[in-house]
Structure formats: C-alpha cells, structure tokens
C-alpha cells in the first residue's frame, strides 16, 4: 500500500497541466513493441496504453506484434529506431537477446520504458513492474500451507526467456526447497491458455497426478481447468493459484474452482503517465515497483480484476 501511495504522489507531483513543459504544438510518436498479441494480458496492455494516450491529440501511438518471436521483436524495435520515434515502450520476449537493440534505442536518444519485463543491463529509461519474486514467494508459502506441507504441485511456467518467468520460478523454488515432502513437476506453456490445456491433458493421459497447480498466469490456469474437466477431475478438489487476477479468475475464485490469484498490474496507465513526464522533460525514477495483493474467497468481492 505504501508503494501505491508513493507512486500516486510521484505521478501527481509536477503534473503536465501544472508544469508548463508539455508542448501541445509538437507532434510525438510513441511506439509499443509488444511481444505477442495472442495473450489477453498483452492485448489489454496495448489497449490501455492507447486509451490513456488518446487524450493527447498531438500524440501518435503505434504498436507492433512480435508474435512470440525474439527475432521479429528485435526487427520491429530496429524499425522504430529507424523511424526515430520519440519514445519506445516494450515488454521483451527475451531478456538477453533483446538487450542490445533496446540499448541501441536508448543510446540513440529514444527514451525506453520497460513494461513489466526488462532486459539484462541498465540501458533503458525506466522499468515499471510488480515484484515477481515476492509474488512467487507468497504463492509458494500459501500452497505449502494449504497442502499441509506435503503433496505434489504442478508448476505451469510462462515464456522461459522472459525475466518475469525466471523470477517467478526462482522465487517459487526458494520457498519449496524448505519443504522436502512437497514434490514439484513442471510444464512450460508460454503464458498461453491453449498450451496449458494441451500440456495438462497430456500429463493426465500419462497418469500423472498432482494435488495443486501453481500457474504463472491465470490464462494458463483456465486451460488447466478445461483439461481437468475433460478427465472428470473437479478443480475444487485441488489447490490452484494463478497470477494476474483477470475477470475469469475472479469468477473462478468466487465459485471455488480457483483457490487464489495474485494481482499483477498491467502497468499500462503508469507507463502512459511516465511517458508524458519523460516527453515533458521531467526526471523519472529508474525503477517503479507496483503493489500487489493476494485474492481469495475472503476478499474477491472487494478487489477489482485488472481487466
């Protein structure tokens, strides 16, 4: 909560309307190099940034869809550099491979906002994100307690090359290593519902059974529930935890089909606000950590989903 208050103060102090530095006559182009639009979370990010910037008639907003391809995302960022956009927003598919082209944009004078994922190194303007490691820690402790510290957990992992996946995985195992009676099995589903459905279905066909699912996104957990239902397994019989807290997760938690989720802010409105500050010549922090909350049946009706 303290972080949220500090962020609100940050975004309100020296607002554009009072700073006198926003040039209403100058035309700006803000580009968003998104890693994929096959994921509801990623689509919502683009839409929310576009909506937040729509109140500025002198801003042209453009975006690209890398279709979960590192090479395509690099090419698209190269194109934005060539076009000399005024500011770049990106959520990189690969924290290592994308680092050089992000640094190239930054060193060429284009401010770069890293939204919810980052690259290795510090060649960017600001990194806006939730604390992936803390979320994973809290989720692991919750699952362990719900299982009375014994059983089998299926860990559904996101995009392996993304820093968010790495931190969520590392944080999860940092806790689970303390509970030797809990066995963890993994499946990588790239944050996609369809991939999770296929993967969980394949595991169940092989006779693999588990007592809990830790899904690194709520979208993957939807796919897992579909697979469970196809195998006549009631999702309410398992401990299931996701990340993001989208509307479908809210409904599932209400009905008992999902045990919990963790709010993971899109970071879109914050990125749009910071973009305006940067283009107005204001100084912004290198990193902004957004607050998060755990959602269960106890508070599901008091916390709004992210979309």
* Statement: residue 11 has pLDDT above 90: no
Are residues 174 and 122 part of one domain?
no
The total number of structural domains in the chain stands at 2
- Determine which of 16-30, 51-65, 169-183 has the lowest per-residue pLDDT on average: 16-30
Domain end call among 263, 281, 300: 263
* Statement: residue 57 has pLDDT above 90: yes
Are residues 270 and 122 part of one domain?
yes
Q: Name the H helices within the chain.
A: 2-12, 16-19, 40-53, 70-83, 99-107, 132-146, 163-176, 193-205, 218-230, 247-255, 268-279
- Residue 113 pLDDT class (50, 70, 90 cuts): very high
Please give the structure tokens belonging to residue 93.
């598919």
150-158 average pLDDT score: 98
Q: Is residue 175 part of a domain?
A: yes
The residue count for the chain: 307
Domain end call among 247, 263, 279: 263
Which class for 292: exposed (0-12), middle (13-18), buried (19 or more C-beta within 10 A)? Answer: buried
Output the pLDDT for position 15.
37
DSSP helix/strand/coil, 96: coil
The rounded mean pLDDT for the chain is 94
89-116 average pLDDT score: 98
Q: Is residue 252 part of a domain?
A: yes
Q: Is residue 229 part of a domain?
A: yes
Are residues 256 and 159 part of one domain?
yes
Are residues 136 and 64 part of one domain?
no
Q: Are 72 and 66 in contact (CB under 8 A)?
A: yes
Are residues 141 and 254 part of one domain?
yes
Are residues 96 and 81 part of one domain?
yes
Report pLDDT digits (tens) over 213-263.
999 999 999 999 999 999 999 999 999 999 999 999 999 999 999 999 999
Q: Is residue 302 part of a domain?
A: no
Give the C-alpha separation, 32 to 216, whole Å: 24
Higher confidence at residue 226 or residue 20?
Answer: 226
Are residues 254 and 270 part of one domain?
no
Are residues 257 and 270 part of one domain?
no
Give the C-alpha separation, 297 to 279, whole Å: 42
* Statement: residue 139 has pLDDT above 70: yes
Phi, psi of 32 (to 5 degrees): -120, 110
Which residues make Cβ contacts (< 8 Å) with residue 230, sequence separation at least 6?
Answer: 201
Are residues 221 and 199 part of one domain?
yes
Are residues 270 and 230 part of one domain?
no
Q: Are 31 and 62 in contact (CB under 8 A)?
A: yes
92-96 average pLDDT score: 97
271-289 average pLDDT score: 97
CATH at 252: 3.40.50.2300
Domain that holds residue 11: 2-130+266-290
Q: Is residue 303 part of a domain?
A: no
Output the pLDDT for position 239.
98
Are residues 252 and 283 part of one domain?
no
Report the percentage of the chain scoring pLDDT > 90: 93
Report the percentage of the chain scoring pLDDT > 70: 93
Q: Is residue 306 part of a domain?
A: no
Q: Is residue 307 part of a domain?
A: no
Are residues 120 and 77 part of one domain?
yes
Which residues make Cβ contacts (< 8 Å) with residue 3, sequence separation at least 6?
Answer: 289, 290, 291
Q: Is residue 295 part of a domain?
A: no
**Nearest partner of 125 among 290, 278, 10, judged by Cα:** 278
């Amino acid at each position: 909560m303290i972080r949220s208050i500090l962020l609100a103060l940050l975004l309100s102090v020296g607002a554009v309307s009072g700073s006198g530095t926003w040039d209403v006559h100058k035309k700006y182009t803000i580009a968003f190099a998104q890693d994929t639009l096959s994921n509801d979370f990623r689509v919502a990010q683009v839409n929310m940034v576009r909506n937040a910037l729509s109140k500025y008639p002198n801003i042209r907003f453009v975006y690209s869809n890398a279709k979960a391809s590192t090479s395509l995302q690099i090419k698209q960022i190269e194109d934005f550099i060539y076009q000399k956009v005024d500011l770049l927003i990106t959520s990189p598919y690969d924290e290592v491979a994308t680092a050089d082209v992000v640094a190239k944009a930054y060193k060429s004078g284009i401010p770069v906002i890293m939204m919810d994922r980052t690259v290795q190194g510090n060649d960017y303007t600001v990194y806006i994100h939730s604390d992936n490691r803390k979320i994973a820690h809290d989720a692991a402790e919750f699952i362990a307690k719900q299982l009375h510290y014994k059983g089998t957990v299926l860990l559904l992992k996101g995009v392996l090359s993304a820093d968010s996946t790495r931190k969520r995985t590392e944080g999860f195992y940092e806790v689970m290593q303390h509970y030797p009676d809990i066995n963890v099995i993994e499946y990588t589903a790239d944050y996609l519902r369809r991939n999770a459905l296929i993967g969980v279905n394949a595991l169940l066909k092989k006779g693999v059974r588990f007592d809990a699912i830790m899904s690194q996104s709520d979208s993957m957990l939807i796919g897992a529930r579909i697979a469970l239902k196809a195998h006549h397994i009631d999702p309410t019989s398992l401990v299931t935890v996701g990340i993001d807290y989208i509307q479908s997760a809210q409904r599932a938690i209400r009905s008992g089909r999902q045990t919990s989720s963790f709010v993971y802010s899109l970071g879109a409105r914050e990125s749009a606000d910071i973009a305006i500050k940067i283009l107005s010549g204001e100084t912004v922090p290198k990193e902004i950590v957004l607050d998060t909350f755990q959602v269960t049946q106890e508070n599901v009706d008091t916390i709004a989903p992210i979309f």
